[in-house]
Amino acid sequence: MAFDRSIKIAPSILSADFADFGREIRAIEAQGADWVHVDVMDGHFVPNLTFGPPAVKAFRPHVNTVMDVHLMIAPVDAYIEAYAEAGADIITAHVEAGPHPHRTLQAIRATGKKAGIALNPGTPVEAVEYLLDLCDMVLVMTVNPGFGGQKFIHSQVDKIARLRGMIGDRPIHIQVDGGVDPTTAPLVAKAGADVLVAGSAVFKGGSVDQPQVYGGNIRAIREAAQGLALSA
């Protein structure tokens, strides 16, 4: 994974057809997805329950790009190795998930995987200031984690901009997750985000039998983000 700040679209398979994940993953990649985002939820840290390591391992053979695994679980450290072995390329944990996020990032890096740290909407950007040198990515949640299809929280745009300034020239991605669509994509791209997670905005109206709809949705998000980013 060579580092670059070009806009990357990472569809969240939480919005895919749960009965057909393999074909759904292949369809979004064929239609232009840069990464595949896997939302792991435990029913404790967030009010939903999704994918354990066996599910992630089953997804892995279908992913030819980057499998981006977002752990919304607490405690998190005990499960890092299992998700690494399941085939994640990037593992992101929440700064709020435990008392020692520095140790969490070290544990992710020890597996040989890229390490991300996530911030809930109510968590200030300063919470990651002293963690950046262990990070390959910072994820800014633009909705409260736990469910897809929520409304974008506009106050997070300022957080993204402040984070971008804090990162400086370090090779750290800024990912945004929640309410990303062609309307909000330019806002987060202008603020400094380069990895855009989108669930319903990618999958709406399409299917594995009509994958061109996914492609149109991905292009619409990418073009909206690039248009404002390039003119800024």
Whole-number Å distance between alpha carbons of 66 and 163: 23
Q: Is 17 annotated as a binding residue?
A: no
- Calculate the dihedral angle through the C-alpha atoms of 50, 140, 177, 184, rounding to the nearest 10 degrees: 160
User: Is 177 part of any known ligand binding site?
Assistant: yes
- Residues serving a catalytic function are 39, 177
Known binder of ligand: residue 199? yes
- Determine if residue 37 is labeled as part of a ligand binding site: yes
179 annotated ligand binder:
yes
Is 32 one of the annotated binding-site residues?
no
4 HSE (CA, 13 A, CB side): 6
Please check if 165 is assigned to a binding site.
no
148 in a labelled binding site: yes
Tell whether residue 43 is among the known ligand binding residues.
no
Q: Is 70 annotated as a binding residue?
A: yes
User: Is residue 122 a known part of a binding site?
Assistant: no
Residue numbering of the annotated binding site for a divalent metal cation? 37, 39, 70, 177
Binding residues, as ranges, are 12, 37, 39, 70, 146-149, 177-179, 199-200
Binding residues for substrate: 12, 70, 146-149, 177-179, 199-200
